[in-house]
Chains A and B, each alone.
Chain A
Amino acid sequence: MHEYTLMELSRLLREREVSSVELVNAFLHRAEQFNDGLNCFISLFPEHALERARAADGLIAAGEAGPLTGLPVAHKDIFCTAGFKTSCASKMLDNFIAPYNATATERIDAAGSVMIGKTNMDEFAMGSSSETSFYGPVRNPWDTDRVPGGSSGGSACAVSARLVPAATATDTGGSIRQPAALCGVTGLKPTYGRVSRYGMIAYASSLDQGGPITQTAQDAAMLLSAMSGYDRRDATSADVKVDNYLDALNKEIKGLKIGLPREYFSAELERPITDALDGALKLFEQAGASIVDIELPHTELSIPVYYVIASAECSSNLSRYDGVRFGHRCTDPGDIMDLFCRSRSEGFGNEVKRRIMTGTYVLSAGYYDAYYLKAQRLRRLLRDEFRAALEQVDVIVTPTTPTAAFPLGSRLDDPVAMYLSDIYTVSVNLAGLPAISIPAGFSHGLPVGMQIIGNYFREAALLNVAHQYQQMTDWHKRMPGGRQ
Protein backbone atom coordinates (compact mmCIF):
# COMPACT_ATOMS: atom_id res chain seq x y z
CA MET A 1 0.00 0.00 0.00
CA HIS A 2 2.95 2.30 0.71
CA GLU A 3 3.82 2.77 -2.96
CA TYR A 4 0.56 4.58 -3.75
CA THR A 5 0.38 8.34 -4.14
CA LEU A 6 -1.80 10.55 -1.96
CA MET A 7 -4.30 10.89 -4.83
CA GLU A 8 -4.46 7.12 -5.33
CA LEU A 9 -4.90 6.50 -1.61
CA SER A 10 -7.66 9.10 -1.52
CA ARG A 11 -9.51 7.18 -4.25
CA LEU A 12 -9.00 3.84 -2.46
CA LEU A 13 -10.46 5.35 0.72
CA ARG A 14 -13.50 6.79 -1.04
CA GLU A 15 -14.16 3.54 -2.88
CA ARG A 16 -13.84 1.69 0.46
CA GLU A 17 -11.04 -0.48 -0.90
CA VAL A 18 -9.20 0.34 2.29
CA SER A 19 -10.07 2.04 5.58
CA SER A 20 -8.17 4.92 7.11
CA VAL A 21 -7.35 2.74 10.12
CA GLU A 22 -5.75 0.12 7.82
CA LEU A 23 -3.87 2.83 5.95
CA VAL A 24 -2.60 4.55 9.08
CA ASN A 25 -1.60 1.23 10.64
CA ALA A 26 0.32 0.25 7.52
CA PHE A 27 2.29 3.51 7.40
CA LEU A 28 2.89 3.54 11.16
CA HIS A 29 4.22 0.02 10.90
CA ARG A 30 6.63 1.02 8.12
CA ALA A 31 7.67 4.18 9.96
CA GLU A 32 8.42 2.19 13.12
CA GLN A 33 10.28 -0.44 11.11
CA PHE A 34 12.55 1.91 9.16
CA ASN A 35 12.98 4.90 11.46
CA ASP A 36 15.84 3.29 13.41
CA GLY A 37 17.94 3.24 10.26
CA LEU A 38 16.81 6.52 8.70
CA ASN A 39 16.07 8.71 11.76
CA CYS A 40 13.58 10.78 9.77
CA PHE A 41 10.98 11.06 12.56
CA ILE A 42 11.50 12.87 15.87
CA SER A 43 8.08 11.76 17.14
CA LEU A 44 5.43 9.23 16.10
CA PHE A 45 1.91 9.46 17.50
CA PRO A 46 0.29 6.01 16.97
CA GLU A 47 -2.55 6.50 19.47
CA HIS A 48 -3.50 9.94 18.22
CA ALA A 49 -3.24 8.82 14.59
CA LEU A 50 -5.46 5.76 15.07
CA GLU A 51 -8.05 7.79 16.93
CA ARG A 52 -8.11 10.31 14.05
CA ALA A 53 -8.27 7.44 11.54
CA ARG A 54 -11.31 5.92 13.26
CA ALA A 55 -13.04 9.30 13.16
CA ALA A 56 -12.09 9.64 9.48
CA ASP A 57 -13.60 6.26 8.68
CA GLY A 58 -16.81 7.45 10.31
CA LEU A 59 -16.85 10.60 8.16
CA ILE A 60 -16.17 8.61 4.99
CA ALA A 61 -19.02 6.19 5.86
CA ALA A 62 -21.33 9.15 6.46
CA GLY A 63 -20.33 10.69 3.11
CA GLU A 64 -18.87 13.73 4.86
CA ALA A 65 -15.25 13.33 3.86
CA GLY A 66 -13.07 16.36 3.10
CA PRO A 67 -10.34 16.40 0.45
CA LEU A 68 -7.71 14.83 2.72
CA THR A 69 -9.94 12.81 5.06
CA GLY A 70 -8.20 9.73 6.44
CA LEU A 71 -4.90 10.31 4.62
CA PRO A 72 -1.72 9.97 6.71
CA VAL A 73 0.70 12.90 6.69
CA ALA A 74 3.75 13.97 8.70
CA HIS A 75 4.65 17.49 9.74
CA LYS A 76 8.10 18.98 9.94
CA ASP A 77 8.88 19.52 13.61
CA ILE A 78 9.02 23.27 13.01
CA PHE A 79 5.20 23.59 12.88
CA CYS A 80 3.54 24.10 16.26
CA THR A 81 1.08 21.27 16.94
CA ALA A 82 -1.05 21.91 20.03
CA GLY A 83 -0.48 19.33 22.72
CA PHE A 84 2.41 17.68 20.88
CA LYS A 85 6.14 18.12 21.24
CA THR A 86 7.46 20.72 18.77
CA SER A 87 11.25 20.68 19.08
CA CYS A 88 12.60 22.32 15.90
CA ALA A 89 15.26 19.59 16.34
CA SER A 90 16.87 21.66 19.11
CA LYS A 91 17.79 20.88 22.68
CA MET A 92 16.37 24.35 23.33
CA LEU A 93 12.84 23.08 22.58
CA ASP A 94 13.28 19.42 23.54
CA ASN A 95 10.75 19.96 26.34
CA PHE A 96 8.40 22.24 24.38
CA ILE A 97 4.77 21.14 24.01
CA ALA A 98 3.19 23.68 21.67
CA PRO A 99 0.21 25.47 23.26
CA TYR A 100 -1.33 26.31 19.86
CA ASN A 101 -1.43 25.17 16.22
CA ALA A 102 0.35 26.55 13.18
CA THR A 103 -2.17 27.72 10.59
CA ALA A 104 -0.68 25.65 7.74
CA THR A 105 -0.86 22.33 9.59
CA GLU A 106 -4.16 23.22 11.25
CA ARG A 107 -5.67 23.68 7.77
CA ILE A 108 -4.33 20.32 6.57
CA ASP A 109 -5.75 18.83 9.74
CA ALA A 110 -9.13 20.49 9.12
CA ALA A 111 -9.16 18.99 5.61
CA GLY A 112 -9.23 15.60 7.34
CA SER A 113 -5.63 14.37 7.24
CA VAL A 114 -4.13 12.20 9.98
CA MET A 115 -0.82 13.33 11.47
CA ILE A 116 1.26 10.21 12.19
CA GLY A 117 4.38 12.01 13.37
CA LYS A 118 6.77 14.97 13.25
CA THR A 119 9.85 14.87 11.07
CA ASN A 120 13.52 15.47 11.83
CA MET A 121 15.40 18.43 10.37
CA ASP A 122 18.41 20.67 10.80
CA GLU A 123 18.25 22.48 14.12
CA PHE A 124 15.99 25.54 13.69
CA ALA A 125 16.03 24.76 9.93
CA MET A 126 19.62 25.99 9.67
CA GLY A 127 21.45 23.59 7.40
CA SER A 128 21.52 21.79 4.10
CA SER A 129 22.11 18.23 5.31
CA SER A 130 19.82 17.49 8.29
CA GLU A 131 22.95 16.65 10.29
CA THR A 132 22.67 19.47 12.84
CA SER A 133 19.61 17.98 14.57
CA PHE A 134 19.82 17.51 18.35
CA TYR A 135 18.34 14.05 17.63
CA GLY A 136 21.11 12.96 15.28
CA PRO A 137 21.46 13.02 11.51
CA VAL A 138 18.77 11.89 9.05
CA ARG A 139 20.00 9.43 6.43
CA ASN A 140 19.32 9.32 2.72
CA PRO A 141 17.18 6.26 1.87
CA TRP A 142 19.01 5.87 -1.46
CA ASP A 143 22.36 5.50 0.33
CA THR A 144 22.32 5.61 4.11
CA ASP A 145 25.94 6.82 4.24
CA ARG A 146 24.80 10.03 2.55
CA VAL A 147 22.77 13.04 3.69
CA PRO A 148 19.14 13.52 2.65
CA GLY A 149 19.68 17.26 2.21
CA GLY A 150 18.17 19.84 4.50
CA SER A 151 16.76 21.39 6.36
CA SER A 152 13.55 19.39 5.68
CA GLY A 153 15.56 16.16 5.34
CA GLY A 154 13.21 14.17 7.57
CA SER A 155 10.15 15.04 5.49
CA ALA A 156 11.94 14.30 2.19
CA CYS A 157 13.40 11.06 3.54
CA ALA A 158 10.06 9.84 4.95
CA VAL A 159 8.23 10.47 1.65
CA SER A 160 11.09 8.99 -0.41
CA ALA A 161 11.17 5.80 1.71
CA ARG A 162 7.35 5.68 1.50
CA LEU A 163 6.97 5.85 5.29
CA VAL A 164 4.28 8.48 4.76
CA PRO A 165 2.62 9.55 1.49
CA ALA A 166 3.11 13.28 2.03
CA ALA A 167 4.71 15.70 4.48
CA THR A 168 4.89 19.38 5.24
CA ALA A 169 8.19 21.24 5.12
CA THR A 170 9.62 24.76 5.13
CA ASP A 171 12.04 26.54 2.83
CA THR A 172 14.18 29.56 3.77
CA GLY A 173 17.02 29.07 1.27
CA GLY A 174 16.16 25.76 -0.38
CA SER A 175 15.07 23.63 2.57
CA ILE A 176 12.13 22.06 0.70
CA ARG A 177 13.62 21.82 -2.79
CA GLN A 178 17.16 20.68 -2.00
CA PRO A 179 16.19 17.66 0.17
CA ALA A 180 13.39 16.82 -2.29
CA ALA A 181 16.04 16.72 -5.05
CA LEU A 182 18.49 14.68 -3.01
CA CYS A 183 15.83 12.14 -1.98
CA GLY A 184 14.08 11.87 -5.37
CA VAL A 185 10.72 13.40 -4.42
CA THR A 186 8.64 16.45 -5.32
CA GLY A 187 8.96 19.60 -3.19
CA LEU A 188 7.22 22.94 -3.68
CA LYS A 189 8.20 26.26 -2.13
CA PRO A 190 5.23 28.58 -2.64
CA THR A 191 5.39 32.34 -3.21
CA TYR A 192 6.34 34.21 -0.03
CA GLY A 193 3.03 34.97 1.70
CA ARG A 194 1.04 32.15 0.03
CA VAL A 195 1.15 29.86 3.10
CA SER A 196 0.74 31.41 6.55
CA ARG A 197 3.83 31.51 8.74
CA TYR A 198 1.75 31.67 11.93
CA GLY A 199 2.99 28.98 14.30
CA MET A 200 5.88 28.06 12.03
CA ILE A 201 8.95 28.56 14.19
CA ALA A 202 10.81 31.53 12.71
CA TYR A 203 14.32 31.35 11.29
CA ALA A 204 14.49 34.25 8.78
CA SER A 205 11.09 35.87 8.58
CA SER A 206 11.43 37.63 5.20
CA LEU A 207 12.45 34.33 3.56
CA ASP A 208 10.64 31.50 5.42
CA GLN A 209 7.80 29.77 3.59
CA GLY A 210 5.97 26.48 4.22
CA GLY A 211 5.07 23.98 1.52
CA PRO A 212 4.51 20.31 0.68
CA ILE A 213 6.87 17.39 -0.02
CA THR A 214 5.14 14.59 -1.94
CA GLN A 215 5.74 11.89 -4.55
CA THR A 216 4.05 13.80 -7.38
CA ALA A 217 3.08 17.28 -8.51
CA GLN A 218 -0.55 16.17 -8.33
CA ASP A 219 -0.15 15.33 -4.63
CA ALA A 220 1.64 18.64 -4.06
CA ALA A 221 -1.40 20.36 -5.60
CA MET A 222 -3.69 18.52 -3.15
CA LEU A 223 -1.65 19.52 -0.11
CA LEU A 224 -0.97 23.08 -1.25
CA SER A 225 -4.71 23.65 -1.81
CA ALA A 226 -5.29 22.79 1.84
CA MET A 227 -2.34 24.80 3.24
CA SER A 228 -2.70 28.04 1.26
CA GLY A 229 -4.63 31.20 1.79
CA TYR A 230 -4.85 34.44 3.68
CA ASP A 231 -4.43 34.34 7.47
CA ARG A 232 -5.01 37.44 9.54
CA ARG A 233 -2.68 36.04 12.21
CA ASP A 234 0.32 36.42 9.87
CA ALA A 235 0.96 40.08 9.01
CA THR A 236 2.87 39.03 5.87
CA SER A 237 0.19 36.63 4.63
CA ALA A 238 -0.92 37.56 1.10
CA ASP A 239 -4.58 38.34 0.52
CA VAL A 240 -4.50 36.81 -2.96
CA LYS A 241 -7.04 34.32 -4.34
CA VAL A 242 -5.95 30.67 -4.16
CA ASP A 243 -6.14 29.03 -7.59
CA ASN A 244 -7.62 25.59 -8.15
CA TYR A 245 -4.31 23.76 -8.41
CA LEU A 246 -5.76 20.35 -9.34
CA ASP A 247 -7.81 21.79 -12.22
CA ALA A 248 -4.73 23.46 -13.68
CA LEU A 249 -2.63 20.27 -13.93
CA ASN A 250 -3.85 18.95 -17.27
CA LYS A 251 -3.29 22.01 -19.41
CA GLU A 252 -1.06 21.32 -22.43
CA ILE A 253 2.36 22.94 -22.28
CA LYS A 254 2.34 23.68 -26.02
CA GLY A 255 3.54 27.24 -26.52
CA LEU A 256 5.08 27.44 -23.03
CA LYS A 257 8.22 29.60 -22.92
CA ILE A 258 10.93 28.10 -20.71
CA GLY A 259 13.83 30.31 -19.67
CA LEU A 260 17.27 28.80 -19.28
CA PRO A 261 19.80 30.84 -17.27
CA ARG A 262 23.26 29.98 -18.60
CA GLU A 263 24.82 31.14 -15.32
CA TYR A 264 23.33 28.06 -13.63
CA PHE A 265 25.18 25.59 -15.83
CA SER A 266 28.71 26.19 -14.56
CA ALA A 267 31.72 23.90 -14.39
CA GLU A 268 30.89 22.83 -10.82
CA LEU A 269 27.68 21.18 -11.98
CA GLU A 270 27.91 17.36 -12.02
CA ARG A 271 27.84 16.01 -15.57
CA PRO A 272 24.91 13.58 -15.02
CA ILE A 273 22.85 16.53 -13.70
CA THR A 274 23.53 18.54 -16.88
CA ASP A 275 22.54 15.45 -18.89
CA ALA A 276 19.33 15.01 -16.88
CA LEU A 277 18.37 18.64 -17.50
CA ASP A 278 19.16 18.32 -21.21
CA GLY A 279 16.91 15.29 -21.38
CA ALA A 280 14.09 17.13 -19.64
CA LEU A 281 14.39 20.15 -21.93
CA LYS A 282 14.19 17.89 -25.00
CA LEU A 283 10.94 16.41 -23.66
CA PHE A 284 9.52 19.88 -23.05
CA GLU A 285 10.42 20.89 -26.60
CA GLN A 286 8.79 17.75 -27.99
CA ALA A 287 5.65 18.70 -26.07
CA GLY A 288 5.63 22.04 -27.84
CA ALA A 289 7.46 24.31 -25.39
CA SER A 290 10.22 26.64 -26.53
CA ILE A 291 13.52 27.20 -24.75
CA VAL A 292 14.74 30.77 -24.39
CA ASP A 293 18.14 31.82 -23.07
CA ILE A 294 17.83 34.27 -20.20
CA GLU A 295 20.32 36.11 -18.02
CA LEU A 296 20.50 36.18 -14.23
CA PRO A 297 23.99 37.69 -14.10
CA HIS A 298 24.35 38.25 -10.35
CA THR A 299 23.28 34.76 -9.23
CA GLU A 300 26.71 34.15 -7.66
CA LEU A 301 26.08 36.94 -5.16
CA SER A 302 22.89 35.33 -3.90
CA ILE A 303 24.87 33.15 -1.45
CA PRO A 304 26.61 36.01 0.42
CA VAL A 305 23.44 38.15 0.27
CA TYR A 306 21.39 35.26 1.64
CA TYR A 307 23.78 34.47 4.48
CA VAL A 308 23.90 38.11 5.61
CA ILE A 309 20.11 38.56 5.56
CA ALA A 310 19.23 35.12 6.95
CA SER A 311 21.82 35.35 9.74
CA ALA A 312 20.71 38.86 10.67
CA GLU A 313 17.06 37.83 10.87
CA CYS A 314 17.96 34.65 12.74
CA SER A 315 19.96 36.53 15.39
CA SER A 316 16.91 38.71 15.99
CA ASN A 317 14.31 35.90 15.89
CA LEU A 318 16.24 33.58 18.18
CA SER A 319 16.73 36.24 20.85
CA ARG A 320 13.38 35.02 22.26
CA TYR A 321 15.03 31.86 23.60
CA ASP A 322 16.18 33.15 26.97
CA GLY A 323 15.32 30.39 29.43
CA VAL A 324 12.53 32.45 31.04
CA ARG A 325 9.14 31.60 29.54
CA PHE A 326 9.64 28.30 27.74
CA GLY A 327 12.35 26.03 26.42
CA HIS A 328 15.65 25.02 27.97
CA ARG A 329 16.80 26.70 31.17
CA CYS A 330 20.21 26.15 32.75
CA THR A 331 20.40 24.87 36.33
CA ASP A 332 21.17 27.24 39.23
CA PRO A 333 21.71 30.50 37.35
CA GLY A 334 23.92 32.87 39.37
CA ASP A 335 22.28 36.02 38.01
CA ILE A 336 20.00 37.09 35.17
CA MET A 337 22.83 37.32 32.60
CA ASP A 338 24.07 33.89 33.58
CA LEU A 339 20.50 32.61 33.08
CA PHE A 340 20.32 34.08 29.55
CA CYS A 341 23.84 33.23 28.39
CA ARG A 342 24.10 29.72 29.83
CA SER A 343 20.55 28.69 28.82
CA ARG A 344 21.24 29.80 25.25
CA SER A 345 24.74 28.32 25.07
CA GLU A 346 23.53 24.95 26.37
CA GLY A 347 20.34 24.94 24.31
CA PHE A 348 21.71 25.86 20.86
CA GLY A 349 23.98 23.69 18.70
CA ASN A 350 27.06 24.84 16.81
CA GLU A 351 25.51 25.88 13.48
CA VAL A 352 22.76 27.89 15.20
CA LYS A 353 25.36 29.68 17.33
CA ARG A 354 27.50 30.33 14.25
CA ARG A 355 24.56 32.00 12.47
CA ILE A 356 23.53 34.00 15.54
CA MET A 357 27.12 35.21 15.86
CA THR A 358 27.32 36.12 12.14
CA GLY A 359 23.96 37.89 12.30
CA THR A 360 24.89 39.80 15.46
CA TYR A 361 28.13 40.91 13.83
CA VAL A 362 26.57 42.15 10.55
CA LEU A 363 23.95 44.10 12.49
CA SER A 364 26.36 45.61 15.00
CA ALA A 365 27.27 49.30 15.07
CA GLY A 366 29.75 50.21 12.37
CA TYR A 367 29.03 47.20 10.15
CA TYR A 368 25.30 47.58 9.45
CA ASP A 369 25.73 49.62 6.25
CA ALA A 370 28.58 47.56 4.84
CA TYR A 371 26.87 44.23 5.35
CA TYR A 372 23.16 44.34 6.07
CA LEU A 373 22.18 47.36 4.01
CA LYS A 374 24.50 46.28 1.20
CA ALA A 375 22.83 42.85 1.17
CA GLN A 376 19.38 44.45 1.04
CA ARG A 377 20.40 46.57 -1.95
CA LEU A 378 21.70 43.50 -3.75
CA ARG A 379 18.50 41.69 -2.85
CA ARG A 380 16.57 44.23 -4.91
CA LEU A 381 19.02 43.78 -7.80
CA LEU A 382 18.59 39.99 -7.71
CA ARG A 383 14.80 40.27 -7.50
CA ASP A 384 14.65 42.73 -10.39
CA GLU A 385 16.73 40.39 -12.55
CA PHE A 386 14.18 37.63 -11.93
CA ARG A 387 11.32 40.02 -12.66
CA ALA A 388 12.88 41.03 -15.98
CA ALA A 389 13.49 37.38 -16.93
CA LEU A 390 9.91 36.42 -16.06
CA GLU A 391 8.62 39.10 -18.42
CA GLN A 392 10.21 37.15 -21.29
CA VAL A 393 9.33 33.59 -20.22
CA ASP A 394 6.61 31.67 -18.33
CA VAL A 395 8.91 29.56 -16.17
CA ILE A 396 12.64 29.18 -15.54
CA VAL A 397 14.23 25.73 -15.45
CA THR A 398 17.46 25.06 -13.53
CA PRO A 399 19.14 22.22 -11.66
CA THR A 400 18.03 22.15 -8.00
CA THR A 401 21.52 21.36 -6.68
CA PRO A 402 25.05 21.30 -8.14
CA THR A 403 25.67 17.73 -6.90
CA ALA A 404 23.68 14.69 -5.84
CA ALA A 405 23.58 13.69 -2.13
CA PHE A 406 26.98 14.08 -0.46
CA PRO A 407 28.47 11.76 2.21
CA LEU A 408 27.47 12.27 5.86
CA GLY A 409 30.00 14.42 7.69
CA SER A 410 31.76 15.60 4.52
CA ARG A 411 30.77 19.29 4.80
CA LEU A 412 29.87 19.60 8.47
CA ASP A 413 33.14 21.24 9.51
CA ASP A 414 33.25 23.63 6.56
CA PRO A 415 30.25 25.98 6.79
CA VAL A 416 31.11 27.82 3.57
CA ALA A 417 31.23 24.58 1.52
CA MET A 418 27.85 23.65 3.01
CA TYR A 419 26.43 27.10 2.16
CA LEU A 420 27.56 26.80 -1.48
CA SER A 421 25.36 23.74 -2.00
CA ASP A 422 22.41 26.17 -1.94
CA ILE A 423 23.57 28.17 -4.97
CA TYR A 424 20.55 27.36 -7.17
CA THR A 425 17.88 27.75 -4.53
CA VAL A 426 18.60 30.78 -2.30
CA SER A 427 18.00 33.49 -4.91
CA VAL A 428 14.39 32.28 -5.28
CA ASN A 429 13.78 32.99 -1.57
CA LEU A 430 15.44 36.41 -1.82
CA ALA A 431 13.04 37.24 -4.68
CA GLY A 432 10.06 35.61 -2.89
CA LEU A 433 9.15 33.55 -5.96
CA PRO A 434 7.57 30.07 -6.06
CA ALA A 435 9.64 27.09 -7.24
CA ILE A 436 9.25 23.34 -7.37
CA SER A 437 11.87 20.56 -7.46
CA ILE A 438 10.94 17.32 -9.19
CA PRO A 439 12.92 14.11 -9.84
CA ALA A 440 14.62 14.29 -13.25
CA GLY A 441 17.11 11.42 -13.35
CA PHE A 442 20.03 9.88 -11.51
CA SER A 443 23.71 10.58 -10.94
CA HIS A 444 25.65 7.40 -10.04
CA GLY A 445 22.52 5.82 -8.55
CA LEU A 446 21.46 8.93 -6.62
CA PRO A 447 18.42 11.04 -7.52
CA VAL A 448 18.77 14.37 -9.32
CA GLY A 449 16.29 17.25 -9.12
CA MET A 450 15.08 19.77 -11.66
CA GLN A 451 13.92 23.14 -10.36
CA ILE A 452 11.10 25.04 -12.06
CA ILE A 453 10.73 28.68 -10.98
CA GLY A 454 7.56 30.65 -11.76
CA ASN A 455 6.11 34.10 -11.36
CA TYR A 456 4.52 35.39 -8.14
CA PHE A 457 1.42 33.39 -7.10
CA ARG A 458 1.62 31.22 -10.24
CA GLU A 459 1.92 27.95 -8.32
CA ALA A 460 -0.75 26.53 -10.65
CA ALA A 461 1.55 27.04 -13.66
CA LEU A 462 4.48 25.37 -11.88
CA LEU A 463 2.38 22.40 -10.84
CA ASN A 464 1.02 22.14 -14.38
CA VAL A 465 4.51 22.00 -15.94
CA ALA A 466 5.71 19.56 -13.29
CA HIS A 467 2.66 17.33 -13.73
CA GLN A 468 3.04 17.30 -17.51
CA TYR A 469 6.69 16.29 -17.10
CA GLN A 470 5.64 13.52 -14.71
CA GLN A 471 3.16 12.25 -17.33
CA MET A 472 6.10 11.86 -19.75
CA THR A 473 8.61 10.33 -17.29
CA ASP A 474 8.71 7.88 -14.39
CA TRP A 475 11.61 9.27 -12.32
CA HIS A 476 9.13 10.22 -9.58
CA LYS A 477 7.96 6.60 -9.36
CA ARG A 478 11.42 5.21 -8.56
CA MET A 479 11.76 4.05 -4.97
CA PRO A 480 14.92 3.53 -2.96
CA GLY A 481 15.61 -0.16 -2.50
CA GLY A 482 18.72 -2.16 -1.64
CA ARG A 483 20.45 -0.56 1.28
CA GLN A 484 17.36 0.39 3.20
Chain B
Amino acid sequence: MPLDKKEIENIAWLARLTIADRAIAGYTKDLADILALVEQMQSVDTTAIEPLAHPLEIDTQLRPDEVKEEDQRDSFQNIAPLTEDGYYIVPKFIE
Protein backbone atom coordinates (compact mmCIF):
# COMPACT_ATOMS: atom_id res chain seq x y z
CA MET B 1 0.00 0.00 0.00
CA PRO B 2 1.94 2.99 -1.30
CA LEU B 3 1.99 6.08 0.86
CA ASP B 4 0.91 9.38 -0.66
CA LYS B 5 2.87 12.64 -0.60
CA LYS B 6 1.03 13.90 2.46
CA GLU B 7 1.84 10.76 4.45
CA ILE B 8 5.51 10.90 3.46
CA GLU B 9 5.62 14.54 4.59
CA ASN B 10 3.95 13.63 7.87
CA ILE B 11 6.47 10.85 8.61
CA ALA B 12 9.30 13.24 7.73
CA TRP B 13 7.84 15.82 10.11
CA LEU B 14 7.58 13.26 12.94
CA ALA B 15 11.22 12.30 12.24
CA ARG B 16 12.26 15.98 12.13
CA LEU B 17 13.53 15.64 8.58
CA THR B 18 12.96 17.98 5.65
CA ILE B 19 12.40 16.22 2.37
CA ALA B 20 12.76 18.19 -0.83
CA ASP B 21 9.80 17.95 -3.24
CA ARG B 22 11.99 16.31 -5.88
CA ALA B 23 12.96 13.56 -3.40
CA ILE B 24 9.38 12.63 -2.43
CA ALA B 25 8.91 10.21 -5.34
CA GLY B 26 12.09 8.32 -4.36
CA TYR B 27 10.99 7.95 -0.74
CA THR B 28 7.49 6.88 -1.84
CA LYS B 29 8.96 4.08 -3.95
CA ASP B 30 11.59 2.98 -1.40
CA LEU B 31 9.13 2.90 1.49
CA ALA B 32 6.58 1.02 -0.65
CA ASP B 33 9.23 -1.60 -1.51
CA ILE B 34 10.31 -1.91 2.13
CA LEU B 35 6.71 -2.19 3.35
CA ALA B 36 6.00 -4.85 0.72
CA LEU B 37 8.95 -6.83 2.11
CA VAL B 38 7.69 -6.29 5.65
CA GLU B 39 4.22 -7.50 4.64
CA GLN B 40 5.63 -11.09 4.55
CA MET B 41 5.41 -11.03 8.34
CA GLN B 42 1.63 -11.33 8.13
CA SER B 43 1.95 -14.89 6.74
CA VAL B 44 2.40 -16.30 10.26
CA ASP B 45 -0.27 -16.25 12.98
CA THR B 46 1.50 -14.93 16.07
CA THR B 47 -1.45 -14.34 18.41
CA ALA B 48 -0.16 -16.98 20.87
CA ILE B 49 3.43 -15.64 20.90
CA GLU B 50 4.57 -13.01 23.39
CA PRO B 51 6.65 -10.14 21.96
CA LEU B 52 10.41 -10.36 22.60
CA ALA B 53 12.05 -6.98 23.13
CA HIS B 54 15.51 -8.15 23.99
CA PRO B 55 17.49 -11.32 23.22
CA LEU B 56 18.71 -12.01 26.75
CA GLU B 57 15.60 -11.09 28.76
CA ILE B 58 17.82 -9.71 31.51
CA ASP B 59 16.48 -7.70 34.41
CA THR B 60 17.06 -4.01 34.74
CA GLN B 61 20.23 -3.44 36.71
CA LEU B 62 19.96 -1.15 39.69
CA ARG B 63 22.74 0.70 41.49
CA PRO B 64 22.94 2.89 44.56
CA ASP B 65 21.95 6.50 43.87
CA GLU B 66 25.38 8.01 44.45
CA VAL B 67 27.20 10.74 42.58
CA LYS B 68 30.21 9.11 40.92
CA GLU B 69 30.82 11.09 37.74
CA GLU B 70 32.77 14.33 37.74
CA ASP B 71 31.40 17.52 36.23
CA GLN B 72 32.60 17.52 32.62
CA ARG B 73 30.54 20.41 31.30
CA ASP B 74 33.49 22.27 29.82
CA SER B 75 34.74 19.21 27.98
CA PHE B 76 31.27 18.46 26.60
CA GLN B 77 30.64 22.06 25.60
CA ASN B 78 33.96 22.20 23.75
CA ILE B 79 32.35 20.16 21.00
CA ALA B 80 29.01 22.01 20.99
CA PRO B 81 28.09 24.15 17.97
CA LEU B 82 27.13 27.23 20.03
CA THR B 83 27.37 27.93 23.77
CA GLU B 84 27.38 30.97 26.04
CA ASP B 85 28.10 31.12 29.79
CA GLY B 86 27.73 27.35 30.07
CA TYR B 87 24.43 27.25 28.16
CA TYR B 88 23.67 25.68 24.79
CA ILE B 89 22.31 28.39 22.51
CA VAL B 90 19.31 27.74 20.22
CA PRO B 91 16.85 30.06 18.46
CA LYS B 92 14.26 31.51 20.85
CA PHE B 93 11.21 29.24 21.08
CA ILE B 94 9.33 30.45 24.17
CA GLU B 95 7.30 33.60 23.69
Contact = CB atoms under 8 A, between A and B. Distances in A.
Interface majority SS (helix, strand, loop, mixed), chain B = loop
A335 B37 contact: no
Given A99-B72, A236-B56, A339-B91, A357 B12 contact: yes
A448 interface: no
A208 to B, nearest CB: 11
- Give the size range of A's interface with the partner: 35 or more
Contact of A324 (B35, B37, B88): B88
A408 B1 CA distance: 31
Contacts of B54: 206, 236, 432
B31 A357 contact: yes
B46 A378 contact: yes
Contacts of A236: 54, 56, 58
Interface in A294-313: 298, 300-301, 303-305, 307-308
A303 B35 CA distance: 12
Contact of A193 (B56, B79, B88, B92): B56
Nearest to A417: B33
A325 B88 contact: yes
A234 to B, nearest CB: 9
B11 A361 contact: yes
Interface majority SS (helix, strand, loop, mixed), chain A = helix
B44 interface: yes
A353 B41 contact: no
Given A307-B37, A361-B11, A374-B42, A338 B52 contact: no
Given A324-B88, A336-B91, A416-B33, A356 B15 contact: yes
- Give the size range of B's interface with the partner: 35 or more
Contacts of B93: 335-336
Nearest to A348: B17
A459 interface: no
Interface string A91-110: 00001110100000000000
Nearest to B20: A345
Contacts, number: 161
Contact of A416 (B19, B34, B41, B72): B34
A415 B52 contact: no
A344 B12 CA distance: 11
Interface in B72-95: 72, 75-76, 78-82, 88, 90-93
Interface stretch (A47-55, A251-259, A315-323): A315-323
A305 B41 CA distance: 7
Interface string B1-33: 001000010011011111100000001001101
Given A96-B79, A238-B56, A325-B80, A360 B15 contact: yes
A419 B42 CA distance: 19
A326 interface: yes
A371 B34 contact: no
Nearest to B81: A329
Interface stretch (A165-173, A242-250, A379-387): A379-387
Contacts of A376: 51-53
B90 A339 contact: yes
Given A99-B79, A360-B14, A373-B51, A354 B27 contact: yes
A291 interface: no
A170 B39 CA distance: 28
A333 interface: yes
A300 B40 CA distance: 9
A432 B55 contact: yes
Contact of A235 (B14, B34, B61): B61
B76 A99 contact: yes
A422 B56 CA distance: 22
Nearest to B10: A364
A345 to B, nearest CB: 4
A419 B19 contact: no
Contacts of B88: 324-325
A358 B15 CA distance: 10
A192 B56 contact: yes
B31 A377 contact: no
A304 B90 contact: no
The 6 closest A-B pairs by CB, nearest first: A432-B55, A376-B51, A380-B52, A329-B81, A377-B46, A336-B93
25 contacts: A99-B75, A193-B56, A238-B56, A308-B38, A322-B16, A325-B80, A326-B76, A326-B79, A326-B80, A333-B90, A335-B91, A336-B92, A341-B18, A342-B18, A344-B17, A348-B17, A354-B30, A354-B31, A371-B41, A377-B50, A378-B41, A379-B51, A415-B30, A416-B36, A433-B55
Given A376-B52, A416-B36, 16 more contacts: A304-B41, A305-B41, A307-B37, A308-B41, A319-B16, A327-B81, A334-B91, A339-B91, A345-B19, A357-B11, A358-B31, A371-B38, A380-B49, A381-B46, A381-B49, A419-B34
